Amino acid sequence: MNSLMREPYPSRNVKESMILRRQEPVLWRNMEQKPDWISVEQLTHYDERGYLVLPNLLSEADVKTLQSVSKQLLDKFEQEPIEGVIREPNGQAVRSLFNLPQHSPEFDQLTKHPKLVELAEFILGSSVYLHQSRLNYKPSFQGKEFFWHSDFETWHIEDGMPAMRALSCSVLLTKNHAHNGPLMVIPASHRMYVACVGETPENNYVYSLRKQRIGTPSEVALSTLAELGGGIEHITGDAGTVILFDSNLLHGSAGNISPDSRANAFFVYNSVDNALEDPAHQLAPRPDYLAHRTVNPL
């Protein structure tokens, strides 16, 4: 049997882009087991559209604390060349800072927020651990775009994540509005998988975290899924809002040419039953700050 036929989610070793059906459920538990504070309608939206917006989940006091810590970290690492600090593709402005628990007890606590962990455990049907965490900065006039991609495609190929049993959590630390590069999603695209064309270079993460070129869907695939999902949606909100979205949802963001900087905390919950295996195509594992290989349940 052809190896591509045995692999439910091939990518980068294919000759042409393909749109394949998702093999796993989106919600891994029955609605009867849901947390009391979340509604059936909200969870149905997540199941069908691939994302969920939770306005004002954090208190005003918590937001102010996290904003202050975010600014301190930005000032600290603005010039310091440490592992896990990613800069904009055409400059030195900080684009992302990875491994938040290592740098801040406040952000460590945020990743363990009881409601977020409870909801992640419901959606993924098991205990969860932190696969990845980072601060995403999009500075005024300088913040560049994140091109369309599925996180799962990268985690599957470059990290060895077996199944679509993970979710992403974006915590808005500043107001995200239409003109400062908010998250954009293609609704319902999480129910399909796009196999991407292009061999993965060695240490691809060094370049892809600044400007992603490999693992990006074709224009035809993007257009097809956008049409099927009813277009593209911008997800905006005030500081303290939390956005949850499926690991396979196609998403991206435009550059920020406005005077308003944007900063969001971003972390990934993975099921303890979905621990990382060897990366595809004999790639070397990415650094731990990008993909934790030790499963420590939250």
Q: What's this model's pTM, rounded to 2 decimal places?
A: 0.93
Dihedral pair phi/psi, residue 159, rounded to 5°: -115, -15
Instruction: Determine, yes or no, domain membership for 291.
Output: no
* Segment (H or E) for 109: helix 105-111
Instruction: Determine, yes or no, domain membership for 212.
Output: yes
pLDDT tops 60 at residue 5? no
Structure tokens at 79: 């010039």
> Would you state the pLDDT for residue 2?
46
Instruction: Determine, yes or no, domain membership for 124.
Output: yes
Instruction: Determine, yes or no, domain membership for 213.
Output: yes
How many domains is the chain partitioned into structurally? Answer: 1
Tens digit of pLDDT for each residue in 17-62?
999 999 999 999 999 999 999 999 999 999 999 999 999 999 999 9
Residue 23: which domain range? 3-282
* Average pLDDT score, the chain: 92
For residue 101, the domain's CATH number is 2.60.120.620
User: Nearest-CA neighbor of 24 among 166, 119, 158, 128?
Assistant: 166
Instruction: Determine, yes or no, domain membership for 235.
Output: yes
